[in-house]
Structure 1
Amino acid sequence: MINVEKTIGNLIDKQSVSFISSVDCMGFPNTKAMLPPRKREGIKTFYFTTNTSSMRVGQYKDNENACIYFCDKRFFRGVMLRGIMEVMEDEASRQMIWRNGDTMYYPQGVNDPDYCVLKFTAVDGRYYSNFHSEVFNIGESFKTTIS
């Protein structure tokens, strides 16, 4: 038995790419590669930066259902988390994950109207390792283990 939060958290922290998925107006999934989350709280809440004007932001505003995926290609293991994605445009959220150098993407700084935060909140997930996958729930009392 392994500790899900620790094992998955370690996998996530070592990845240089994350994948986020949204649902388009036709009900089809749309996936794109992103930089890793700027911040995470356990394996329940993740924060990403993106452009307010992006297609993905529009999709999340229309349908908050989402998933994120992290893959360790070296050991052929990965985790998919399902949940909701919120588009955060408030100053506190922007300040929370702003980094020096972000003006390369957002020239007007932390208050650039084309800068927003995507906040993902997971409800469940699926972990794959050693030719086996396991579904797990994420809740307030997170005690799940994977065998």
Structure 2
Amino acid sequence: MLCYLSGLYLQIVSSCVCVVIPNLTRAVCSYAFIKNIVTRRVAQFRANPKACVYYVDDTKNKYKGALFTGTIEVCTDHETKAMLWRDGFEMYYPKGVDDPDYCVYRFTAQSVNYYHGLANMTLQIDEVE
């Protein structure tokens, strides 16, 4: 499945909702993913928080990609969950924002590898404007 986001396509490998929240953390590049707590990924990320997010734009035969690498934090606190809560989520989380099955993954990028054609560069996030 590909989702269009900020001029790029996001391939969802594991089903979740991706929300770009510029001020979610103090980091320059943070993303939030809404997910069920009872998945295998929660245990995996708690044991090893390393993760990546891959964006691709393959429109008009101009293949561009960006691979962000960083860490994921599993957030179950009310404040973070409430910030991302939307009407309609009750369908999946009937107990509301404090449903114990509702959690947020907070991804914070540390570096990005960008490529377009034969050009390929890796930057630390603090080098990206």
Q: Do both share a fold (TM > 0.5)?
A: yes
Q: 1:88 aligns with which of 65, 75, 83?
A: 75
> Aligned residue pairs: how many?
120
Match of 1:66 in 2: 51
Match of 1:41 in 2: 22
Amino acid at match of 2:10: V
Match of 1:13 in 2: 6
Q: 2:39 aligns with which of 41, 54, 61?
A: 54
Q: 2:103 aligns with which of 90, 99, 116?
A: 116
CA distance in 2, matches of 1:35, 1:71: 18
Amino acid at match of 1:44: C
TM-score of the two chains, using structure 1 as the length reference: 0.71
SS in 2 for 1:107: coil
TM-score of the two chains, using structure 2 as the length reference: 0.80
SS in 2 for 1:93: helix
Q: Percent identity?
A: 31
TM-align CA RMSD: 2.2
Match of 1:27 in 2: none
CA distance in 1, matches of 2:83, 2:51: 22
SS in 1 for 2:66: strand
What does the per-residue CA deviation read over 1:44-99, in whole Å, with 9 as the maximum and x for residues that have no partner? 11111000011111100110011111111213111110111000000000011111
Return closer, same or farther for 1:115/1:15 CA change in 2, 3 Å cut-off: farther
Residue 138 of structure 1 pairs with residue 125 of structure 2: yes
5+ residue gaps in structure 2? none
CA distance in 1, matches of 2:9, 2:81: 22
Question: Contact 2:17–2:35 (CA<8 Å) still a contact in 1?
Answer: no
Return closer, same or farther for 1:93/1:102 CA change in 2, 3 Å cut-off: same
5+ residue gaps in structure 1? 1-10, 20-31
